[in-house]
Amino acid sequence: MALITPASGGGGGGGDKAPPSASDPSLGFLTKRDTEVKLPRATRVKNKTPASVQITAEQILREARERQEPEIRPPKQKITDSIELSEYRLRRRKEFEDVIRRVRWNVNAWVKYAKWEEQQRDFARARSVYERALDVAHRDHTLWLKYAEFEMRNRFVNHARNVWDRAVSLLPRVDQLWYKYIHMEELLGAVANARQVFERWMAWRPDTAGWNSYIKFELRYGEVERARAIYERFVAEHPRPDTFIRYAKFEMKRGEVERARQVYERAADLLADDEDAQVLFVAFAEFEERCREVERARAIYKYALDRVPKGQAEELYRKFLAFEKQFGDREGIEDAIVGKRRFQYEDEVRKNPLNYDSWFDYIRLEESVGNNDRIREVYERAIANIPPADEKRYWQRYIYLWINYALYEELDAKDVERTREVYSECLKLVPHKKFTFAKMWLMAAQFEIRQRNLKAARQILGNAIGMSPKGKIFKKYIEIELYLGNFDRCRTLYEKYIEWSPANCYAWRKYAELEKNLSETDRARSIYELAIAQPALDTPEVLWKEYLQFEIDENEFDRTRELYERLLDRTKHLKVWISYTEFEASAGLAGEDGESEEIKNEVSYHEQQIERVRRCRAIFERAFEYFRTSAPELKEERAMLLEEWLNKEVSFGDLGDVTLVQKKAPRKVKRKRPIPTEDGSTVAYEEYIDYIFPDEVALAPNLKILEAAYKWKKQKTDDTDDV
């Protein structure tokens, strides 16, 4: 008699059955009404004020636990005789068959069926279920595992072997089947059978885990030679650094140092170009360290650093540095540190060869070591990375590689011919028709001058002016010729400079200064005249100022006045008027009206002062009249002119007339004006200082008429200029 607990409802001999209309097979003997969950109707909370007694969440959970109803379990069925047992089994088998008929592809349904038959001790039926399942899903390795475990669990060894054989024949790439098969043979003590299974498995060329399992199997039974033979087959099948390292460690563990070294040497010859070669070399060097072969280990590290690509040797450099710190001397440690930094720079320039800052750092590192061959090699590699486009902004850092290279060859290597060659190659490489580097031309010329080859320096600078003239080249070339005293060459260069850039006031001024220093006054004056006659100049105010000062220094006051008048014809800027007045206030009267030298000497100093004041005041009056009539909108300039005039009258002392200026002084008034916005609307105002002059107050009634007349006059003048 057995006590059976069915997995799902239904059983002869126990409990009342519910009507078919209200029953559900998944609910056992319960109806839907019994199991229906009735939720309370949601009620609207009217009073939301906090209660006087607060309830914690812990209390709610505890009460919910206490009030929880017991779990509903299906009733237990007691089977009292064989007839009931047969009925139970028949019903259960029918249920299983129904499930399988519905979900034939569900392996779990088959396994449950077979396990139930196994519980009933009907092994033939269970085996039959597994076989039927294999007809449906013979590619599912879990089904084979369940089937074989069933046979093993019930000590059907030959049946289990049969299942395993069929499984590994159909699914030879599923390692778990092989592992389980071999494990069963080992449990049975059939070592020869297990070895035979391993050989069958190895014929399918599994991954490294399978070979390692085979080796461990042989070592468990003390078969060292067999394990060594398997290792040989293993490294032949999987020639990788990790397999050779495992083989060498196997030999080392058994004290076979020479055998282990031979394995490493074979691997180093075979896998020197492998992407994981650094792992192999590190293991080889550490093996030699353990064997106290320091020189061997150092040689391995150096050999590896030469063979392994820089981007894959980070761990190798780190290990080598640690090795040198432990076993090396000062020189070896420094070499290791430099090697590590060299590796870092190699990695940077490999990732981005156009990053010239990395090349500069790399070159500085090699220069600190002092190996000329390495330094030149890095320089050559660096300058080989030409910028991708012919735009100057890409070349500005690149050109310094050539400059540093040339300076290194000249100053450190002291190789004159190589230096000349570096300069020549660089000047050939730069696309001078699009842009040039004056610094490179000048450095090449200065190098030739240091070598006392003046002809070559002139040729370089002449080529620079002919191919791609620049202001710096002209300036330096003229400076060199001026230092050598070749004034005719300087004149020729200045003429070419001006011809190339006629708007460059610097060239005109320096040319005139050269002639002035050579006491060639007429030449200097002619140069100034040509300069101010140019239609466009970059800084004309500086040029005019120097020309005026030149005439003043030559005591040519009439020429100076003429220049001022010519300048006022071009511009009537406030500074020009003030400068003119300053000149008149301080200039002499020599050469005026063709007077003889004797008459000039008879003029008293007081009369000269009176004349100066008169001339200065006349200029001020002209300026004020211009600002009053021709430019009335420039009120601030007019006020500044009056302020300067007042200061000048004060400085004249007794000869000055302060009241003359004070009558014309304006009154300052604060006003507001609108600030226009982008859309044209006015939303804010700003304060500004306005000047009200006495003549404007007197003519206030007619101010609008005057303004209209002024506008009409200005418009008419503009129309005349256009015609």
Indicate the pairing of strand 3-4 with strand 77-78: antiparallel
* Stretch (H or E) spanning 398: helix 398-407
Angstrom distance (rounded) from CA 653 to CA 648: 9
Tell me the per-residue pLDDT of 110-131, one tens digit each, with 9 for 90 and over.
999 999 999 989 999 999 999 9
Structure tokens that stand for 704 in this block: 């609008």
φ/ψ of 207, rounded to 5, equals: -80, -175
Overall average pLDDT of the 187-210 stretch: 92
Angstrom distance (rounded) from CA 336 to CA 322: 9
Contacts of 640 (CB under 8 A, 6+ apart): 574
Domains of the chain, CATH where assigned: 98-206 (1.25.40.10), 239-323 (1.25.40), 410-495 (1.25.40), 668-695+706-718 (no CATH)
CB 430 within 8 A of CB 444: no
Which conformational region is residue 205 in: left (phi greater than 0), alpha (psi within -120 to 50 degrees), or beta? left
Positive/negative CA dihedral, 246, 250, 255, 257: negative
Contacts of 23 (CB under 8 A, 6+ apart): 17, 31
What length does the chain have? Answer: 723
What is the secondary structure of 429-487 as a DSSP string?
HS-TTT---HHHHHHHHHHHHHTT-HHHHHHHHHHHHHHS--HHHHHHHHHHHHHHT-H
Q: Is the pTM of this model over 0.75?
A: no
Position 697 scores a pLDDT of 61
**Low-confidence winner among 196-210, 618-632, 668-682 (lowest mean pLDDT):** 668-682
Question: Residue 158's closest CA among 127, 202, 199?
Answer: 127
Instruction: Decide: helix, strand or coil at residue 196.
Output: helix
CB 145 within 8 A of CB 138: no
Instruction: Decide: helix, strand or coil at residue 687.
Output: strand
Angstrom distance (rounded) from CA 99 to CA 102: 5
Position 594 scores a pLDDT of 42
CA 92 to chain centroid: 71
If one counts every other C-beta atom within 10 angstroms of the C-beta of residue 474, the result is 25
If one counts every other C-beta atom within 10 angstroms of the C-beta of residue 347, the result is 16
**Low-confidence winner among 148-162, 418-432, 656-670 (lowest mean pLDDT):** 656-670
Burial tier of 312 (Cβ tally within 10 Å: 0-12, 13-18, 19+): middle
CB 15 within 8 A of CB 29: yes
Position 595 scores a pLDDT of 45
Of the ranges 158-167, 387-396, 648-657, the best mean pLDDT one:
158-167
Indicate the pairing of strand 77-78 with strand 682-692: unpaired
Overall average pLDDT of the 225-245 stretch: 92
- In this predicted structure, the answer to whether residue 147 has a pLDDT above a threshold of 80 is yes
Question: Residue 576's closest CA among 531, 510, 626, 528?
Answer: 626
Structure tokens that stand for 632 in this block: 């009335």
pLDDT band at residue 2 under the 50/70/90 scheme? very low
- In this predicted structure, the answer to whether residue 599 has a pLDDT above a threshold of 80 is no
Q: What percent of the chain has pLDDT over 70?
A: 85
Q: What is the dihedral of CA 492, 497, 499, 503, to 10 degrees?
A: -140
Sequence letter at residue 98:
D
Q: What is the mean pLDDT of the chain?
A: 82
Angstrom distance (rounded) from CA 381 to CA 273: 23
Angstrom distance (rounded) from CA 689 to CA 672: 9
